[in-house]
Homo-oligomer: A and B are copies of this chain.
């Protein structure tokens, strides 16, 4: 190429660059955001999910959109992630929305609700059952956008120092529980305690609480509950699934191009599937280790399940009567879930129940 052609070619290239530059600057700017999580770094599925999400965003944007992740307590206390994002202290959070039911129980629908949805139904409700629009409207009041970014599946029913054989055994038990499940249990005499993940074991050890639930075998084992509690109950009816959310400051969200918004949405979906896949693979091995170490597996008796279910319906009705925001979501959420339950019985449940009974007969 002679110099003249080089200049000419360069000139065309430069002209194009000059014209395109403003559009590029708007859609894919260099950004450095901070994410505060509610989790200690030791929980490599929960905190790992936030980290994976951040890594995906960087990879998809050629490292232009960087997100630094901080564990609970590093920048803000683990249970104040919402506040930090709402105030714009940080751009992003990764948390369990039900940590904020003290502000308004409506948060529960974006996370997990007692005797509520399972993993599939939660996904469908948000995407196709009107859930997204309802929660967006609710979250606008908190200056936040919430995007599902991880899930645990059905959680376990927690660790108890004493066996719970009857409903009356629940009375007076100081039990660490996240979210709105505690409000249901309090109707049956439990004294619910809210503590962040890292604070539970010391409280169990000191005896300031009598039991605790966190997630399931893999995480619970890491937190060490098996060292102080003998009985491990199932299922965690207060968390038929538990959705973790990426919280994004509303102003910051609207400052993003459609390009970056879609990057965040897709990264969150991939992180979601990554997390549930990891839990589903890691939980069974952990449960086997726990049982080998002396943990006693227990299932809630039918009368306890029924009493808790009844208490949950009372709580939903009471909150609907006093909280119009809650009522608005609940009145659309309930019929959607009932329709899903009915449908899931036709194929999913038939298949699952047949297969689950075939353990050992597969090969």
Chain A interface (Cβ < 8 Å from any Cβ of B): 13-14, 17, 21, 24, 27-28, 56, 59-62, 115, 118-121, 123-124, 126-129, 153-157, 216, 234-237, 240, 258-259, 262-263, 265-267, 269-270, 272-274, 276-278, 280-285, 287, 297, 299, 305, 309, 313, 334-335, 337-356, 358-363
Judging by beta carbons under 8 Å apart, are A360 and B346 in contact?
no
Question: Once the chains bind, are A309 and B358 in contact (CB under 8 Å)?
Answer: yes
Q: Would you call B281 and A127 a contact (CB within 8 A)? A: yes
Are B120 and A119 touching (Cβ within 8 A)?
yes
Residues of B within 8 A of A121 (CB): 280
Contact A351 B278 (CB under 8 A): no
Tell me whether A345 and B363 are in contact in the complex, defined as CB-CB below 8 angstroms, given that A118-B352, A123-B277, A352-B118 are known contacts: no
Q: Are B346 and A234 in contact (CB under 8 A)?
A: yes
A277–B338 Cα distance when bound, in Å, is 16
The distance in angstroms between the C-alpha atoms of A128 and B277, with both chains bound, is 7
- A-B contact list, 20 entries, CB within 8 Å: A14-B17, A60-B266, A62-B259, A118-B351, A118-B355, A119-B120, A123-B280, A124-B276, A128-B282, A155-B347, A235-B346, A235-B347, A237-B354, A269-B272, A269-B273, A284-B340, A297-B346, A341-B356, A349-B353, A349-B356
Q: How far is the CA of A190 from the CA of B353 in the complex (A)?
A: 25
Query: CA separation between A22 and B182, bound complex, in Å?
Result: 57
A27 in contact with B62 (CB, 8 Å) = yes
Q: Is B350's CB under 8 angstroms from A299's CB?
A: yes
A354-B308 Cα distance, complex, nearest whole Å: 12
A321 CB, min distance to chain B CBs, angstroms: 14
Q: A348: which of B62, B118, B351 is its contact (CB, 8 Å)?
A: B118
* Cα–Cα distance between A61 and B237 once the two chains are bound (Å): 42
- Residues on B with beta carbons closer than 8 Å to the beta carbon of A360: 338
User: How many copies of the polypeptide does the oligomer hold?
Assistant: 2
**Does A347 lie within 8 Å of B276, measured CB to CB?**
no
B338 and A127: CB pair below 8 A? no
Question: Are B354 and A305 in contact, with the CB atoms below 8 A?
Answer: yes
Find out whether the CB atom of B351 lies under 8 angstroms from the CB atom of A338: no
Interfacial chain B residues near A263, Cβ < 8 Å: 60, 266
Cross-chain contact B359 with A234 (CB below 8 angstroms): no
Question: Which residues in B have their C-beta under 8 angstroms from that of A272?
Answer: 269, 273
Contacts of A345 in B (CB 8 A): 356, 359
Check A355 against B341 for contact (C-beta < 8 Å). Answer: yes
Are B269's CB and A346's CB within 8 A?
no
Given contacts A119-B120, A284-B339, A354-B237, contact A334 B309 (CB under 8 A): no
- Chain B hits for A277, CB < 8 A: 123-124, 126-128
The chain B residue sitting closest to A306, CB to CB, is: B354
Give the docked Cα–Cα distance between A21 and B350 (Å): 57
The residue in chain B whose Cβ has the minimal distance to the Cβ of A261 is B59
Since A118-B351, A263-B266, A353-B353 are in contact, a sample of 4 more A-B pairs with Cβ atoms closer than 8 Å, ordered by chain A residue number, is: A127-B278, A236-B347, A284-B342, A341-B359
How distant is A295 from chain B, measured CB to nearest CB, in Å?
12
Most B CB atoms within 10 A — which of A263, A277, A355? A355
**Residues of the B chain whose Cβ atoms lie less than 8 Å from the Cβ of A335:** 363
A352 contacts which chain B residues (CB < 8 A)?
Answer: 118, 154, 240, 344, 348-349, 352
Contact B355 A259 (CB under 8 A): no
A307, B71: Cα distance in complex, Å: 53
Of B62, B156, B157, B358, which one neighbours A341 at CB under 8 angstroms? B358
